[in-house]
Amino acid sequence: MNTGLEKLVEKALHRMGRFQRTEYPHPVVLALYGEPVNVMDLQERAKKQAEIDLADPDSPPREKEIESILYSALALAEVIETSMEDKEDFFIPDARFRKQVFSVKRSPGWALVLGDADQTELIAGLKEKRFTVFSSFRHLGATFIGNRDTSSIYFFQNQVRYAMIYGRIKAGQPHEMAHFLEDEGPAILIVHGNQSRVESLLTLGYMLMGTPAIVPSSFPYSYGNRRITNSIDEILEECMHFPNLRIIEHAGSKIQLPDYCDPANLREEVVAERFWGGTNLSFLAVRKGEPEDGIEVIGRPDGHLGIIIELNYVGMNEVAEDFLEEIAATFPNYIKGVTSSVLPIPDRGRGAGSGSSLRLGLAKDVTISGEMIARAIHDGFRKQYPSLNKLKVTVIFDEALLRDEKKEIDSYKAARDKTISSMNEET
């Protein structure tokens, strides 16, 4: 039996209250189901689901069953909190939420600390690393979310609102939301100490919905996006390695995107009024090399745009270059008001490689520079692939140089395409 889900069913009243000072009076329920739920129907469904033990190794549940159970658990937790008299003490209203989103740009992200251990040392360590900390443990350095079994839902409300507002994920699309939060949601979850059955079930639910977690070896479930550690030192070492965070650590160095870059801008709808690139002299190319790390901009913006990315890593080949060009094309989208598209050159229409041309669309009143584009690509690669020690991004606007480079790039890509085609034929 799933005793955690049973307890949630027992605690939930037959009605759902509302949170105030927000456009989302039930953000988690809305995110999961797209509309308010009938609480009695939710309870009846959860009663049947409670017969399934998520931790049974001999009869593991199917993926769809796991999802349905955890959606019910998360929804019931929010229903329970809507009925609490002190709910407004812990609910984060929209105005405060927006301030937290703004401040996260200057920190690794949000960290939720759960568990029955004394969290003083852990929270102090997270604050030293500049996390914005939320916890069920009272500490001056953390936002206290309450210490009920269901209190952690207040943190997850931040997550789903971030996805719906800044990620433009539609309500009722939990799969899409989970992918977004795993890749771009600025949050992690840390369990230090023991949890009740309800707390561990909700923790698993947050993991299912894309929040990466650090949990102890005693955590009762064997799946989910998590890393297992048992000491505070290990937690503080691991916590900066999740790629969704705004600042990560690798080999003793901190890696972060420029202040003007935000992955959430990938989903922004941009009405472009002017363009860079997309011309017969424009190109985007990734090449294997041994460059000095950095960026270079040659010339001034005047329609044409060439971008050369030189890097090297173990196992790099023609297929990897082609793939990395597709990745590189997305990084300028991190800049607000900028959209990028890959325009295939006739007769060579196979992705970001193959002689294709990158075109950047700029919204009205957007001011950018070649340096900003180069830095967005350079730091985007470093954050996504932290083991890349050196790479150079060169942005070229100079027409004479573009004419010379274009011939070489086209020849290089034609040979690469031929190699990739022969590899595909062999397989």
Lowest mean pLDDT among 106-115, 174-183, 381-390: 381-390
Q: How confident is the model at residue 345 (pLDDT cuts 50, 70, 90)?
A: low
What confidence score (pLDDT) does residue 315 get? 77
Q: Cite the residue boundaries of each domain of the chain with CATH code 3.40.50.2030.
A: 3-256
Report the first-to-last Cα separation within the chain, whole angstroms.
Answer: 48
Q: What is the pLDDT of residue 343?
A: 81
CA–CA distance, 280 with 41 (Å, rounded to integer): 61
Question: What pLDDT sits at residue 349?
Answer: 44
Task: Name the pLDDT band for 353 (thresholds 50, 70, 90).
Answer: very low
pLDDT(355) > 60: no
pLDDT of residue 427: 58
pLDDT of residue 346: 52
pLDDT at 350 > cutoff 50: no
- The topology (CATH level 3) of 263-426 is 3.30.1650
How much is the average pLDDT of 178-203?
97
Q: What pLDDT is recorded for position 388?
A: 86
Question: 92-96, 266-270, 420-424: which has the highest mean pLDDT?
Answer: 92-96
pLDDT of residue 6: 97
Q: Is residue 401 within 8 Å of 312, Cβ to Cβ?
A: no
The segment(s) of the chain belonging to CATH 3.30.1650.10 are 263-426
**147-172: per-residue pLDDT in tens?**
999 999 999 999 999 999 999 999 99
pTM, rounded to two decimals: 0.90
The pLDDT of 295-302, averaged and rounded, is 96
User: Would you state the structure tokens that stand for residue 133, as one six-digit string?
Assistant: 């900390």
- Render pLDDT for 10-27 as a digit per residue (tens, 0 to 9): 999 888 999 999 999 999
On average, the pLDDT of the chain sits at 93
Q: Which CATH class is domain 3-256?
A: alpha beta
